[in-house]
A and B are shown apart, each in its own frame.
Chain A
Amino acid sequence: MKTNYDVIVIGSGPGGLAAAIAAKENGADDVLIIERDVELGGILLQCIHNGFGLQLFNEDMPGPTYAQYYIDKVKAHGVETLMDTMVLDISPQREIFAINKDLGYLDLQAKAIVLAMGCRERTRAQIMLPGARPAGVYTAGTAQRFVNVEGHMPGNKFVILGSGDIGMIMARRLTIEGAQVERVLEIMPYLTGLTRNYVQCLLDYGITLQKHRTVNRIIGRDRVEAIEAVTVDEKWQPVPGTKEIIPCDTLLLSVGLIPENELSKKAGVLLDPITNGPYVDDRFMTNVPGIFAAGNVVQVYDLVDWVTEAGSTAGKGAAQFALAEKLETGEEIPLKAGENIRYVVPHKLDKNHLAEEQVRLQMRAITPMEERVLVTVEDQNGEVVTKKGEPYARPGEIITLAIQPKAYEAVQRATSLTVNVRKR
């Protein structure tokens, strides 16, 4: 096989697929996707529920259908793929070292790389769950794979910790598959997943959600026998007298996702401690020239549609870089998190890009505001460059806002831009 490529995409989830397609459509000749699993599509393949494609297609598709649309397109565009192949290392010079069973050790060189490794789930240890360490404690995604791909039930009677989307979706899936979902516990005073999933997965199936409540102890030496639930105060400390033993055989954890950037670091990519993803510009290029990032490695998105869009942007940038051997950059200004904003992606913006097309910003609120809010992008003088009204701001739901080319002049005057969300 070839060893030199214009663009190599690592990962074939929605971000990677979109990046590979965009790279081809923007003139890259040799594009390769490296995928560690045996099929293209990434985690979408285990997401057999619907809800994918509403933004981009105005259609409500299951994950595999959504993935297949892009897989077909990847094939039609002549993108090469290496399946069942693990990237071991990447250098800042864009060399890629990978292995698989058939070809052994591979040394590849790319003019541009798109990192699209997705994310992983937070585990029991990361949230410090006390108690025994029996079988029957799974992350929601692992359970999802067991049920939806392997066809096996990891338990009969479940407690789910965390109101993340995968947890709520699994609550519904497991109920449909004949299991009993005792309860969903959420330590925060608010939902951490999408309201849509709360309605469609919990309310519709009569599954109780308890906020301000968490697992205090896992009980069971060999297999989970019960969990001890407890109410917590604002500082997450157990409130005396609120303990309850809930018999169950399985505890599912849906307590957050972390971008998977171990490989990125090997290439010298700098990570934002808030998003756990790389610092990126508006083309999703990292601090390492020619290395781009797409999708959940950058930040954990709520909707696959946004992952696809970000992947396309990264893929286009990668193709441009590969063709020119570098990217023409104009003056870049930082994008900052202001009032009630935890982070903004991208982290910086090339002022010139607005001449050609809109730049989409995405951010998360710090605390929920259950009232009409105004999202503003302001320059260093407090001048509003663009703004948008929203019915509410919730930490569990990404706020998205595009700066349009018509704001070009205003942005030229800016040395930085800050995003705020305030009561209207």
Chain B
Amino acid sequence: MAQSYDVIIIGAGIVGSMVARFLSKYKLDILLIDKDSDVGMGTSSANSAAVHAGYDALPGSNKALTNVMGVEMWPQVSEELGIPYERCGDYVVAVSDEDMTMLNILLERGKENGVPGLEIISGEEMRRREPLIRPDAIGALWAPTGGISDPLTATVAVAENAVMNGVTVMLNTAFEDFLMDGNTITGIRTNQGDFESRWVVNAAGLYADEVMHKAGVRPDFVIHPRRGEYLILDKVEFQLTQNTILFPAPSNKGKGILVASTLHGNVIIGPNANFVEDKTDKDMTREGVEEIWSGGKKLVPSVNRKHIIAEFAGLRATGNAPSPNPEIDYNQDFIIEIPEEVKGLVNLGGIESPGFTASPAIAIKVIELLKAAGEDLIEKPDWNPIREAPPVFRHMDKHQQADLIAKEPAYGRIVCRCEMVTEGEILAAIHSPIPATTYDAIKRRTWLGTGRCQGGFDMPRVVHILSEELGIAPEEVTKKGDGSPLLYRRTKDVQQDHIVVEDLI
């Protein structure tokens, strides 16, 4: 008999994890699955880390509603889950009259969406607040509720809190098909076997279209991945004057290439937006780097190429769903629905930007949908909304550091020199509610290997620690799961088939 759940959530990105966490309030057996070796490895792993204020999305769309609601939820969610978050505000910077027109459109749109505190400031004021901005900026839209978070830590924290509250997480578990009884979903088939469930939440991100098609829902809905490339600058070499996000005035291609602070102290530049065919194509391109570099330089001319220490690309799950609000002509909206065609499906799709911002609001919408569908959600008396963040050595003062080492000596050994990540943090990540079992999983949780040397010094040590703690051979340690081993063999173990006999004669 297949294991049975009340709710199965497909996809442990920020959206799936949020749904799991908020649903864990209720007396439900919940399974959260992901095809990858860790939570948050898809779209959630590569974005701008921005918590958007909500002036971009068209009023009345699902995007606008969940964005603005999400912004309001983030302070509490972050506080409860120990997620880095700073409501530093953001700017949309204008350099031409057309840009100023766009700023006014955004201001009106923002007001209509209910974004508080929006204000258009002068070029001088902009330069006073951020002297590094291009000198010919003529004005900016100031959104005090914009902010920055850390989507990597966030996804882990949210999913961990779900686990603490009884959610089962299965990684390396790929959805294959629905189990149906007539038009009622009864469970799912995965590469790890079948699981029964009364409800299935489709939070499959880039693959949400394929999942809903398996249920016979929205055959016309297609996710067309849009790749965004990013560059990260060395925090020792270059920082903005204050933590903030600087956007150019938007175009029809999207919000444009931003220059922003990260909560790790770096500056991030990106993204561009190019459609790709392949949902796994996160390649960096020569042209893309040039495109985002010139975009970044337009906003902040003093950035220096020499200071780039990392580059990556992510894919947005851009869909083609018309907005459920018949009054607006918009066909790239979020899908948040219980479709009529089948029973037992909560369908989430096309969750591109501002999906990270909107994710807690999407979770609330899911709960509302379930309630409206007659689901009798009973709160658990012992639900614990608090997940304490593990210690981050580099963020502590001298006395805290001394105390921590005295208590846990492993925090006295630095493994990653650039980012000052200690062995204690690595061990904590490996032994956390969602154990970090790969190099990248540790990287996402501790930020090691992200600095100037990009893991050059820490990697051999991390391989050693993972091998010891997981009880596996060093050759079994991977970068990001199956198929990504870091090492192949012991030096002296030359495989017989490697030796060509002719060479020996």
Contacts and interface: CB of A to CB of B under 8 A. Distances in A.
B410 interface: yes
A131 interface: yes
B460 A142 contact: yes
Given A102-B412, A121-B453, A150-B464, A130 B490 contact: no
Contacts of B283: 130-132, 217
B487 interface: yes
Contacts of A129: 284
A357 B341 CA distance: 91
A180 to B, nearest CB: 9
A398 interface: no
A123 interface: yes
Interface string A96-108: 0101111111000
A147 B490 CA distance: 8
B452 interface: yes
Contact of A262 (B236, B310, B484): B236
Interface stretch (A65-73, A153-161, A401-409): A153-161
B128 interface: no
Interface in B446-488: 452-457, 459-460, 463-464, 474-475, 478-488
Interface string A237-267: 0100000000001000000001000100100
A2 B117 CA distance: 57
Interface string A148-168: 011111111000000000000
A139 B456 contact: yes
B456 A133 contact: no
A238 B414 CA distance: 41
Contacts of B463: 150
B484 A134 contact: yes
Contacts of A101: 405, 409-410, 412-413
B395 interface: no
Contact of A149 (B286, B409, B457, B460): B460
A141 interface: yes
B401 interface: yes
B456 A141 contact: yes
A154 B457 contact: no
Interface in B175-209: none
A88 interface: yes
A153 B280 contact: no
Nearest to B464: A150
Given A86-B417, A135-B480, A221 B280 contact: yes
Given A88-B420, A99-B401, A130-B284, A135 B309 contact: no
B456 A152 contact: no
Contacts of A154: 486-488
Contact of A153 (B285, B454, B480, B489): B489
Given A104-B406, A178-B494, A36 B460 contact: no
A370 interface: no
Q: Which size bracket describes the interface of B in this complex?
A: 35 or more
Nearest to B289: A128
Contacts of B369: none
Contacts of B478: 135
A125 to B, nearest CB: 5
Contacts, number: 143
A77 interface: no
A146 B457 CA distance: 11
Contacts of A97: 398
Give the secondary structure class of A's interface. Answer: mixed
Contacts of B452: 120, 123, 258, 262
B487 A125 contact: no
A222 B309 contact: no
B121 interface: no
A265 B237 CA distance: 10
Nearest to A250: B488
A146 B309 contact: no
Interface string A197-233: 0000000000000000000110001110000000000
A150 B480 contact: no
Given A97-B398, A125-B309, A128-B308, A142 B483 contact: no
Interface in A383-417: none
A49 interface: no
B276 interface: no
B486 A135 contact: yes
Contact of A133 (B282, B286, B402): B282
B498 interface: yes
Nearest to A99: B412
Given A123-B456, A135-B486, A150-B464, A104 B491 contact: no
A145 interface: yes
Interface in A28-61: 36
Given A133-B282, A133-B284, A145-B460, A100 B488 contact: no
Contacts of B464: 150
Among A124, A128, A238, residue most surrounded by chain B Cβ atoms (within 10 Å): A128
B23 to A, nearest CB: 32
Contacts of A150: 460, 463-464, 474
Contact of B479 (A103, A135, A139, A145): A135
A222 B484 contact: yes
Contacts of B460: 142, 145-146, 149-150
Contacts of B489: 152-153
Contacts of B484: 134-135, 222-223
Contacts of A141: 456
Interface string B352-368: 00000000000000000
A243 B498 CA distance: 28
A46 to B, nearest CB: 10
A177 interface: yes
A133 B312 contact: yes
A332 interface: no
A130 B486 CA distance: 20
B456 A104 contact: no
Max chain A CB contacts within 10 Å: which of B288, B412, B478? Answer: B412
Nearest to B232: A125
Interface in B425-456: 452-456
B311 interface: yes
A223 B483 contact: yes
Contacts of B494: 177-178
Nearest to B408: A101
B284 A104 contact: no
Contact of A86 (B414, B474, B488): B414
Contact of B491 (A125, A151, A216, A217): A151
Nearest to A106: B402
Interface string B229-251: 00010001000000000000000
Please provide the 3 A-B residue pairs with the shortest distance between their CB atoms, ordered closest to farther: A135-B479, A222-B483, A105-B402
16 contacts: A36-B417, A100-B413, A102-B412, A125-B311, A128-B289, A135-B480, A138-B456, A142-B456, A142-B457, A150-B463, A150-B474, A152-B487, A152-B491, A156-B488, A223-B483, A249-B488
Interface of A: 36, 84, 86, 88, 97, 99-105, 120-121, 123-126, 128-136, 138-139, 141-142, 145-147, 149-156, 177-178, 216-217, 221-223, 238, 249, 258, 262, 265
